[in-house]
Amino acid sequence: MLLAKFSQEEWELIQALPSSLSLRRIAKRISLSPVSVWRIYKKLYEKGKFYYVFDTRRFGLCYLAVISTYPGNGENAWPQGTLTVRKIWGLKPYTLFSALIPCTFISEYVKSLNADVVTVVRGLEIYWWRPDSGGSILMPGKGLMPFLSKTLEELYFKEKHAAPPRELPDRIEAPDPIDLAILVKKLQAGPFAKPIEGIKYAASIDPLFPRVSEKTVSYHYRKHVLPGWLYNTFIPYLPINDVPLRVFYFEGREAPALARILINLPYFITALVDVNASLLTGQIPPWMMETVYRVISSFDVEAPLCQLVMSSRSIAKFIPHLWKFLKETRRGWTWHWPKEKVRIVQKKK
């Protein structure tokens, strides 16, 4: 039975991660030396990936998932904000685009794909699995397993009657490019990347990026970026050849509620929640599928695309250069749709 396995110290670090802004804070919480925590932290990169989760609405951004028919024509350029392009298998082959873009440009993004779009799911709410949600337990000598705790049971009944996600506002002010550069680095390098590293990265990509002092960067981080932080998390990965990545797409009034429940179970990765629709990704091992479908069957939803499995290789993967969506005017920074597209530098077979 395939499971993600952790030592007790690794699991304690993972559980302390969501509410900790630094490794030093984690060290205090789990009573280990900073050196020991650093060693465990680096070792965990062999078992998964760390994520920084923030309030996208605060920055006028939105995660997006677009499923289209698979063209098979070797497309090599996509709109700015594209995160990944993957081939997925269902009753027929599809392409799954994931993106992080300004809310105001959702329509422009979809049109710019020049694809035969099957469905679009906006991340009006976006969730990553977190270890402290009440849906996971580390079984000694075995590994990470789902746990239908009292907390999760209460959440189930709460979500059954929960309101749909809030729609996006009509008008969203543009943030500062410094704020977006800091976010980009944390998305790229993990939650503990230093704010100044974001500015250095942006300047290395874009020679016109504003040159600012470390003091200014620190101010932007404390006043603008930090208030939008929600939590950090760690997603364990299983061998991709043994456990493929799956996509779960649901429609119906209870689709948002179902996604909010499933994302609490281990081996799910992300959940995008739209109005009457949701899309989750996960690496669900075969032994856990019965538990997952028991939960699914208790909700009034439809799965029009049936089961979807991702290709084991990405067609393309990108770091979002979010500051390229900004343009400076006399009144400050405004949103701007960039014509420049992202391209594959080295195509994977």
Report yes or no on whether pTM surpasses 0.85.
Answer: yes
Is the residue at 64 inside a domain? no
Is the residue at 332 inside a domain? yes
Query: Who has greater pLDDT, 152 or 214?
Result: 214
Is the residue at 42 inside a domain? yes
How far apart are the C-alpha atoms of 101 and 301, rounded to whole Å? Answer: 28
Q: Residue 75 pLDDT > 80, yes or no?
A: no
Dig out the tokens for 257 from the structure.
Answer: 């509620």
Q: Residue 348 pLDDT > 50, yes or no?
A: no
Q: Residue 164 pLDDT > 90, yes or no?
A: no
Can you tell me the mean pLDDT for 329-341?
92
How far apart are the C-alpha atoms of 188 and 319, rounded to whole Å? Answer: 7
* Count of domains for the chain: 1
Is the residue at 82 inside a domain? no
Is the residue at 343 inside a domain? no
Give pLDDT, residue 92.
93
Give pLDDT, residue 345.
60
Is the residue at 69 inside a domain? no
Quick one: what percent of the chain has pLDDT higher than 90? 82
Note down the domain range covering 297. Answer: 1-52+126-336
Q: Which helix (H) or strand (E) holds 198?
A: helix 195-205
Q: Residue 155 pLDDT > 90, yes or no?
A: no
| Burial annotation 95-133 (CB, 10 A radius, 16+ → b, else e) | bbbbbbbbbbbbeebbebbebeebbbbbbbbbbbbbbbb
- Write the burial class of residue 140 (CB in 10 Å: 0-12 exposed, 13-18 middle, 19+ buried): exposed
* Other Cβ atoms within 10 Å of 175 Cβ, number: 24
Is the residue at 347 inside a domain? no
Is the residue at 250 inside a domain? yes
Q: Residue 20 pLDDT > 60, yes or no?
A: yes
Give pLDDT, residue 315.
78
Can you tell me the mean pLDDT for 101-113?
97
Give pLDDT, residue 217.
97
